């Protein structure tokens, strides 16, 4: 198994996308973390909220501010990891090296999860870097002494890693990489957020909690309205299960279809 995993780690590191995505995730996460931070700061100045930078929900929202964007990029890396194999006809060589197809796909999934974790760590680290000046300037706290903060950070990292699996699933199911990218980005960037916003505005919390955005927010215990957090989120562990279902269903469906399919 280690050889299969190493092969797929090398497949990822020998093309440019992984570090382009890494840089994008760092920069965009910092930008997206600044959004809830700025809103909280304005609320604090206007007197709407008292000492927002001591509010665990706000602090967690800043740390995980980059999640919405990082998970899309993680998904893109997942789509390209399998899509480029179809696009450039290298899937045959991969299957020849590891003819047990489930094993070959699990190796790819493992390598993607490892990169997903790295992206998650970078995304949350960018959020924490953004939080520091706000907290210092407003007499707040980074709340790193609270287990709930760390749980949110760790789950935030894991949720981004899970999104690589959505990407891999879409990449297997839609063999044309460009179409898969288009579908993934439209679903993840437009359809899902718009539906979530509708649920958020209508205050249909039960439905919102079932969406990837709502599940992620509930899992990370994010409360910032900027990130469309539900008023009555599900418990974090249930939210985690909902998100895992969203992420794992496509990849399992994809694997099942790929195992028997002839390679063109």
Partner 1 sequence: MSPIIVDRLIKSYNGTLAVHNLSFVVQPGRVTGFLGPNGAGKTTTMRVLVGLATPTTGRATFGDVAYADLPRPQQTVGCVLDASFHPARSGRNHLRVLASTAGANDRRVDALLGEVGLGDVARQSVGEYSMGMRQRLALAAAMLGNPDYLILDEPANGLDPEGIRWLRTVLRDFAASGRAVLISSHLLNEIEATADDIVVINRGRLLAQMPMSELKLGEGITRARVSDMRAALQALAALGADVQTAADEHGAYLRIHSHDVGQVGSALFGSGIVVDELVTERRDLEQEFFSMLESSR
Nearer to partner 1, 10 or 232 (CB): 10
Residue 45 within binding range of partner 1, rule CB under 8 A:
no
Distance of alpha carbon 89 from alpha carbon 73, whole angstroms: 24
Choosing from 46, 50, 147, 260, the residue that interacts with partner 1 (CB under 8 A) is 260
Q: Which of residues 87-126 bind partner 1 (CB under 8 A)?
A: 88-90, 92-93, 95-100
What are the C-alpha distances in Å from 152 to residues 174, 193, 227? 33, 21, 15
Q: Quickly count helices (H) and strands (E) in the chain.
A: 12, 0
Residue 4 within binding range of partner 1, rule CB under 8 A:
yes
Tokens of 38: 């700025």
Query: Which single residue is written with the structure tokens 């007499």?
Result: 139
Task: Return the closest-CA partner of residue 74 out of 29, 107, 30, 105.
Answer: 29
Nearer to partner 1, 11 or 71 (CB): 11
* Closest CB 117 distance from partner 1, rounded Å: 20
Running DSSP on this structure, what letter comes out for residue 190? I
Nearer to partner 1, 101 or 151 (CB): 101
How buried is residue 128: exposed, middle or buried, by Cβ count under 10 Å (0-12/13-18/19+)?
A: buried
Nearer to partner 1, 239 or 255 (CB): 255
Residue 3 within binding range of partner 1, rule CB under 8 A:
yes
Residue 11 within binding range of partner 1, rule CB under 8 A:
yes
Distance of alpha carbon 174 from alpha carbon 115, whole angstroms: 22
Residue 16 within binding range of partner 1, rule CB under 8 A:
yes
Nearer to partner 1, 16 or 147 (CB): 16
The residues binding partner 1 (CB under 8 A) are 3-4, 6-7, 10-11, 14-16, 84, 88-90, 92-93, 95-100, 260, 262-263
């Amino acid at each position: 198994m280690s050889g299969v995993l190493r092969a797929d780690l090398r497949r990822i590191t020998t093309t440019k996308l992984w570090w382009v995505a890494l840089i994008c995730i760092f920069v965009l996460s910092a930008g997206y973390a600044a959004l809830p931070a700025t809103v909280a700061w304005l609320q604090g100045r206007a007197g709407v909220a008292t000492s927002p930078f001591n509010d665990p929900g706000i602090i967690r929202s800043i740390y995980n501010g980059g999640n919405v964007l990082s998970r899309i990029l993680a998904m893109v890396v997942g789509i390209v990891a399998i899509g480029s194999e179809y696009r450039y006809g290298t899937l045959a060589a991969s299957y020849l090296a590891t003819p047990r197809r489930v094993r070959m796909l699990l190796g790819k999934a493992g390598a993607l999860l490892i990169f997903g974790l790295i992206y998650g760590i970078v995304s949350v680290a960018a959020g924490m870097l953004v939080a520091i000046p706000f907290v210092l300037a407003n007499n707040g706290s980074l709340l790193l002494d609270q287990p709930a903060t760390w749980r949110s950070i760790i789950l935030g990292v894991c949720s981004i890693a899970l999104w690589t699996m959505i990407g891999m699933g879409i990449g297997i199911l839609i063999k044309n990489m460009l179409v898969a990218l288009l579908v993934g980005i439209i679903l993840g960037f437009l359809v899902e957020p718009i539906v979530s916003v509708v649920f958020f505005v209508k205050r249909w919390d039960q439905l919102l909690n079932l969406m990837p955005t709502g599940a992620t927010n509930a899992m990370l215990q994010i409360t910032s309205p900027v990130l469309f957090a539900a008023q009555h989120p599900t418990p974090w562990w249930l939210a985690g299960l909902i998100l895992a279902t969203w992420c794992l269903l496509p990849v399992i469906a994809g694997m099942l279809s790929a195992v028997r399919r002839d390679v063109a």
